[in-house]
Every structure is written in C-alpha cells, then in structure tokens.
C-alpha cells in the first residue's frame, strides 16, 4: 500500500517585486552600495519574488521579533487557507474527510498555532489529528510528506500537508556580512499544500473518498520511499537563529561542496532499493537553494541541463521559498505539457544539519 498525491495547491502573496527593483529601491542602500552584494543579487538566479512585506514600501529590518510574529499570524492564515482549498479542490476531497492536517513552517510561531487556526478556517472536523513541523527549514516538506503518507496508509484516510514560509518578515538590519547578502538575495514567500489519499482511491480510475469523488491525474504519483542523510560535522554551515530582530540565517559558501559528497550516494541508494538507477528517473524536483546548489546536483548526478529546468524556473519566478519550494517544483513538473506520467520522479531538498532528504515518487504499481 502507498499514499497518492491526489492534489497540489499553491498560493503566493500578491506582491511580486522584480529583483532589480528590490536592489535599486532598497537593498543597494541597505548594503551600503556594496559591490559584492550587487554581484550576489545579479547572480542569484532570481528574477522576481512574491512577498507579504515589500521592502520598497515598508522597512521591517528594525522590527522586534514580537512585531514580526504578530504579522506572521495575520498573513499566514489566509495564504495557507488559499493553498489548502486549491489542493482539496484538485483532489476532489471534502474537508470533513480529512483525517490529518500537517503544517510545516519555520518562519513564524504562535499558540494556538497555524494548524489550529487553519483547522478552524477550513471547518475541519473537531477530531481531526494535527501535526506541526517546525524549524526544519528548506527540507521540511519531505519528512512531513513521509509522516502524512504513513498516516494515510495506516488509517486509510486522506491527509493534508501545508508548507508555508514568510521569509520576507525576517529582513535583517544593515550589515556587510556576505551570508546575509546571499540569503536576502534568494528568499521569497509562498504556501503549498498537498492532499494525500489511500492508493485504492485511484485504482482503476477515480473512486470515492468519504462523500466526494476523488479527482485523479492521468497518472497519479505515489510516494514510494524516502531517504535522509545528515552530516553533523557541518552543522554550522546552515543556521536559522531566533534573535531580538527576527530570525537570522547563516549560509556558508561551503554548502555546495559538502552536498557534492552526499548527493549521488543518497540518490543511488534510494533508487537502488527499487531496482532503479539515475537514468531511469523521468522527473527531478530539486530544491533550488541557489544556482550553485543546482549546478552541484546536475554535475554529481550527470544530468542534462533540461533535467533541472523546473527547479531553475521556480527559482527565477518565486525565489527560494524554503519548505514550500520543492512542492512548487513538483506542481510545475506535473503541470507540464509532457507530464512525467508514471515517473519515476525524485524530489530532493536540503537544509540545516546539513541535511539532505530525497523522495521517490512513481505511478508504476510495481514500485509501490
């Protein structure tokens, strides 16, 4: 048995700022006309970003963490609601049929949490189970997806996973720290939701889950397996610290070199468990931590440039949105004119630890 990705929904804030406008209108002066910062922004691979806080009209760099958390609560609930409703609509699953709501976020905290607020706004059943996955960073979508899939298989009930990050709330005070220049050049805001259903709901076409018909893709993807690797010897290479002025990211330039040691072994082990090798993979959803990360993955796996086209496209149009990003890429892969069909598809993301997570998805029943 496995869990099926029955629907994906995404939501972006209404503010879409061009990267050059952000540099000219705010970050040029913020980084004291640093030539290094200018080169970093120009080479980020980002063309535009969606944000709930536009630095061209409001400067949050002096805000306290308390102020930022209040803003997070106000902005996160409607954005997460939109993404989840879109995913449920695509899946054809009614809110009363949801057995588990999982929320992943590392950019804001409150109690009652976003999971409870969304359960209320979505009118989920009072006995719905909830799980909040916090402070895992950019790779959180994949372990959260695995936990939600385990629930679906064990309980034979649909589950929802929402990944939501509002990185724009954490712009830091002016600095000449290159790591801050990199993080401020890359990150945007987004929400992405996935509805998972038991695999029998898609067997022999579409079936019913609870009171509604489950809408199915022509070749729905199933979560086959997950792999994880954490190199604790490099735990200081990527950090996300709570400060009095928001959350501050540390991002070492050594990250691509460390990942280059682990990408191929982790991916080949994951595929090898199921009799597959890298050339058998038809789609790649690789988290674009930045251009250097994508180049490292492409080189280590000996992939053609077009294999990471969806990852580069999301980086250009939305930036690095932390945990929702790999789901944004997966949605783009599934929506292409030449959909990956039966797969296999590999999703991959990286984050603090340093941690690498990979997921194998496929529509081929022989794999799941």
Whole-number pLDDT of residue 219: 58
User: Given this model, what pLDDT does residue 329 score?
Assistant: 97
Question: Taking all residues of the chain, what is their mean pLDDT, rounded to a whole number?
Answer: 91
138, 163, 268, 321: which is the annotated catalytic residue?
Answer: 138
Whole-model pTM: value is 0.93
Domain 222-362 in CATH: superfamily? Thiolase/Chalcone synthase (3.40.47.10)
pLDDT tens track for 50-108: 999 999 999 999 999 999 999 999 999 999 999 999 999 999 999 999 999 999 999 99
Specify the DSSP class assigned to residue 247: E
DSSP 63-124: --HHHHHHHHHHHHHHHHHHHHHHHHHHHT--GGG--EEEEEESS---SS-HHHHHHHHTT-
CA angle in degrees (0–180, nearest 5) for 231-233-234:
75
Residue 106: active-site member: no
Instruction: State the pLDDT confidence band at 220, using cuts at 50, 70 and 90.
Output: confident
Residues in Cβ contact with 161 at an 8 Å cutoff, skipping those fewer than 6 apart: 102, 103, 104, 141, 144, 145, 148, 193, 194, 196
> Could you confirm whether domain 3-213 is CATH 3.40.47.10?
yes
Indicate if the pLDDT at residue 341 is higher than 60.
no
Residue 49 token pair:
């970003």
Contact 359, 216 (CB under 8 A): no
- The reply to whether 222-362 shares the fold of 3-213 is yes
Domain ranges in the chain are 3-213, 222-362
Measure Cα distances from 327 to 99, 234, 322, 324 in Å. Answer: 21, 26, 10, 5
pLDDT digits over 342-359, tens only? Answer: 579 999 999 999 999 999
Q: What is the DSSP letter of 33?
A: T
Q: What is the mean pLDDT of residues 288-307?
A: 96
Dist CA 315 CA 17 (whole Å): 14
């Amino acid at each position: 048995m496995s869990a099926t990705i029955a629907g994906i929904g995404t939501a972006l804030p209404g503010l879409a700022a061009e990267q050059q406008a952000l540099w000219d209108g705010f970050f040029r002066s913020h980084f004291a006309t640093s030539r290094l910062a200018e080169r970093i922004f120009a080479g980020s691979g980002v063309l535009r970003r969606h944000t709930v806080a536009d630095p061209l009209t409001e400067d949050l760099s002096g805000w306290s963490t308390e102020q930022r958390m209040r803003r997070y609560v106000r902005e996160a609930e409607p954005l997460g609601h939109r993404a989840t409703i879109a995913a449920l609509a695509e899946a054809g699953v009614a809110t009363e049929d949801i057995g588990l709501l999982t929320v992943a976020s590392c950019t804001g905290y409150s109690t009652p949490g976003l999971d409870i607020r969304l359960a209320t706004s979505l009118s989920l059943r009072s006995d719905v189970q909830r799980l909040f996955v916090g402070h895992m960073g950019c790779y959180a979508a994949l372990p959260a997806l695995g936990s939600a899939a385990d629930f679906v298989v064990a309980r034979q009930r649909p589950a929802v996973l929402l990944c939501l990050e509002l990185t724009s709330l954490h712009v830091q005070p002016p600095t000449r720290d290159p790591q801050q220049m990199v993080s401020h050049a890359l990150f945007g805001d987004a929400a992405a939701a996935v509805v998972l259903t038991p695999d029998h709901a898609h067997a022999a076409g579409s079936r019913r889950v609870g009171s509604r018909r489950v809408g199915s893709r022509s070749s729905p993807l199933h979560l086959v397996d997950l792999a994880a690797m954490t190199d604790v010897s490099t735990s200081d290479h990527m950090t996300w610290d709570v400060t009095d002025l928001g959350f501050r990211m540390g991002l070492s330039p050594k990250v691509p070199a460390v990942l280059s040691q682990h990408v191929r072994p982790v991916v080949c082990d994951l595929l090898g468990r199921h009799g597959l090798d890298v050339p058998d993979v038809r789609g790649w959803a690789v988290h674009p931590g930045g251009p250097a990360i994508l180049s490292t993955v492409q080189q280590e796996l000996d992939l053609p440039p077009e294999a990471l086209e969806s990852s580069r496209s999301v980086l250009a149009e939305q930036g690095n949105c932390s945990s929702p990003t790999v789901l944004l890429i997966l949605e783009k892969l599934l929506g292409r004119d030449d959909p990956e069909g039966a797969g296999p598809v590999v999703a991959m993301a990286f984050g603090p630890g340093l941690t690498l997570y990979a997921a194998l998805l496929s529509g081929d029943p022989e794999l799941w």
